[in-house]
């Protein structure tokens, strides 16, 4: 989905709030929120793609104003309510106030049925698809061309895995893009590498 979470290349943000002594956790509840998400994954109740998708489904104003760990907490609560393990009413009674959850999801999709063989150094184009559900293709590479510089072992296909859809595992490719191709005339010069699932890629046959 073209959600608020898809931050890469968004403009208008100021300086990174950086400190060399930056902390991982600031408040004790953050460690607990992180642990509860980790426990949900360990118990096999929630997989990583479901977890990420439930964060992406947060109402955009809530997403932007929430801290990282509040997003984790919202995702876990949403998924446990959706899976009918506990109810929103139960949570709100215990929290003594409203407990905003993420918006409902939409159906997922399977892998691309026909996936061309892709090898290192191949020139590839990223799909131009607009996907309503979970997808790990950042919008800034949609339809863009790059070169394959790495290949991973096969992973669950997120567009299916986040939605409980049966699908094949497939490799991802580290694709190298020129920043000038991604944001013409509006970027610092760099090589930008993105991990791209096989189903999001097609080969470009360079002809001279």
Partner 1 sequence: MMTEHKNIHNIASVQNRTDAVEAAFEKHGFKPAEFIEDFKHLAEEKWIPENGARVVAKAWVDPSFRKSLLTNGRQAILDMGLTMPAHHRHLVALENTSTQHNVICCTLCSCTAFSIIGLPPDWYKDLEYRARIVRESRTVLKEMGLDLPNDVEIRVWDTTTDTRYMVIPERPAHTSGWSEERLASIVSKDAMIGVARL
Q: List binders of partner 1 among 63-82 (CB under 8 A).
A: 64, 67-70, 73, 76-77, 80
Residue from 1, 91, 165, 167 binding partner 1 (CB under 8 A): 91
> Is 165 among the residues that bind partner 1 (CB under 8 A)?
no
> Is 120 among the residues that bind partner 1 (CB under 8 A)?
no
Cβ–Cβ < 8 Å for 202, 129:
no
**CA distance from start to end of the chain:** 37
Tell me, by CB under 8 A, how many residues bind partner 1.
86
Residue with the two structure tokens 């991990």: 195
CB of 91 to partner 1, least distance (A): 5
The piece of 18-26, 109-117, 121-129 that touches partner 1 (CB under 8 A) is 18-26
Rounded CA-CA distance 20/35 in Å is 25
Residue from 57, 136, 201, 202 binding partner 1 (CB under 8 A): 136
Q: Coil, strand or helix: which one is 65?
A: helix
Output 112 or 196, the one with its CB closest to partner 1: 196
Cβ–Cβ < 8 Å for 75, 63:
no
- The tokens for 165 are 């859809």
């Amino acid at each position: 989905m073209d959600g608020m979470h898809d931050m890469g290349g968004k403009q208008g943000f100021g300086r990174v709030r950086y400190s060399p002594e930056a902390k991982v956790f600031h408040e004790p509840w953050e460690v607990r929120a992180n642990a509860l998400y980790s426990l949900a994954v360990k118990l096999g109740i929630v997989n990583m793609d479901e977890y990420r998708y439930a964060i992406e489904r947060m109402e955009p104003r809530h997403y932007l104003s929430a801290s990282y760990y509040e997003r984790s907490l919202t995702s876990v609560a949403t998924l446990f309510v959706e899976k009918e393990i506990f109810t929103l009413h139960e949570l709100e009674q215990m929290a003594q106030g409203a407990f905003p959850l993420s918006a409902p999801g939409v159906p997922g999709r399977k892998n691309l049925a026909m996936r061309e063989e892709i090898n290192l150094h191949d020139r590839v184009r990223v799909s131009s698809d607009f996907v309503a559900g979970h997808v790990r293709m950042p919008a800034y590479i949609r339809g863009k061309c790059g070169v394959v510089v790495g290949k991973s072992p096969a992973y669950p296909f997120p567009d299916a895995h986040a939605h409980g859809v049966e699908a094949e595992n497939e490799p991802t490719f580290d694709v190298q893009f020129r920043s000038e191709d991604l944001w013409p005339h509006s970027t610092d010069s760099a090589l930008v590498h993105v991990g791209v699932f096989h189903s999001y890629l097609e080969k470009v046959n360079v002809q001279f």
